[in-house]
């Protein structure tokens, strides 16, 4: 397989993964019992300002890229800068996914929870595809990796601490802005636990299905 074809396959997998991720996020938003940790703070800002979720996602994640630059300095490379392109696609797909799901309106609690489960599985699958592509990543993951690298704390532990801090920020902002929690509920906790579990399981399935030494589709 030529280098260009290999890169194209990787990028295609990444783009598909990003769309799947954003669709999972949109489903969790439509569930109305708490969105995913990655979208919790942007969602609160979005409903408070009326600005689209994709636009807020862009601004917040652009800040994450800036933080990576200051954390890594000379070690900040073009690979890190590639997250800008990923972010643009991610933000556009977020608004597209929100548009595609705008008519999904659960009535009963079991429908809301079922939608949360579905959104979590879809998001986890998208994360797995992103990882499987071995190209770039969304800035939300990139900043966690940079923090873990700089602090020498294990990535998984850094990820948990980051998500907790991010969700607490969303909860605090919601209470101050609206006087109640909005966007942070039991669905957020469910997603925080099971997105990672789903991603690890899907990764195992992908590696078995496509046992390529470079982890790309042959």
* More confident of the two residues 187 and 78: 187
pLDDT above 60 (res 216): no
Average confidence score pLDDT of the chain? 92
For residues 37-52, give the mean pLDDT: 96
Instruction: Read off the pLDDT of residues 180-208 as tens digits, 9 standing for 90 and up.
Output: 999 899 999 999 999 999 999 999 999 99
Collapsing DSSP to helix, strand or coil, 107 comes out as coil
What pLDDT is attached to residue 212?
64
Instruction: Read off the pLDDT of residues 171-184 as tens digits, 9 standing for 90 and up.
Output: 999 999 999 999 89
Helix axis angle, 3-31 to 186-209, nearest 10°: 150
What pLDDT is attached to residue 5?
84
The runs of H, that is alpha helices, within 32-108 are 37-49, 53-72, 78-81, 83-100
pLDDT above 90 (res 132): yes
For residues 19-36, give the mean pLDDT: 96
pLDDT above 80 (res 217): no
Q: From 140, 175, 167, 188, select the one nearest 48 (Cα to Cα).
A: 175
What pLDDT is attached to residue 1?
53
pLDDT > 90: percent of the chain: 85
Q: From 71, 40, 34, 67, select the one nearest 53 (Cα to Cα).
A: 40
């Amino acid at each position: 397989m030529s280098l260009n074809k290999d890169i194209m396959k990787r990028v295609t997998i990444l783009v598909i993964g990003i769309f799947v991720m954003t669709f999972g996020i949109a489903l969790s938003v439509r569930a109305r019992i708490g969105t995913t940790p990655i979208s919790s703070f942007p969602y609160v800002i979005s409903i408070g300002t009326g600005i689209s979720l994709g636009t807020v996602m862009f601004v917040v994640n652009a800040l994450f890229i800036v933080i990576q630059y200051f954390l890594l300095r000379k070690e900040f490379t073009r690979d890190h800068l590639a997250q800008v392109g990923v972010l643009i696609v991610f933000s556009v797909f977020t608004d597209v996914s929100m548009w595609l799901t705008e008519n999904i309106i659960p009535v009963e609690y079991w429908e809301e929870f079922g939608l949360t489960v579905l959104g979590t599985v879809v998001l986890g699958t998208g994360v797995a595809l992103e990882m499987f592509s071995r190209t770039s990543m969304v800035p939300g993951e990139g900043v966690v990796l940079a923090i873990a690298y700089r602090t020498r704390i294990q990535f998984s532990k850094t990820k948990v601490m980051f998500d907790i801090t991010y969700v607490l920020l969303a909860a605090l902002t919601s209470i101050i802005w609206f006087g109640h929690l909005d966007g942070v509920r039991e669905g957020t906790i469910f997603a925080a636990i099971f997105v990672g579990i789903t991603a690890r399981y899907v990764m195992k399935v992908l590696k078995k299905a496509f046992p390529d030494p470079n982890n790309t589709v042959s």
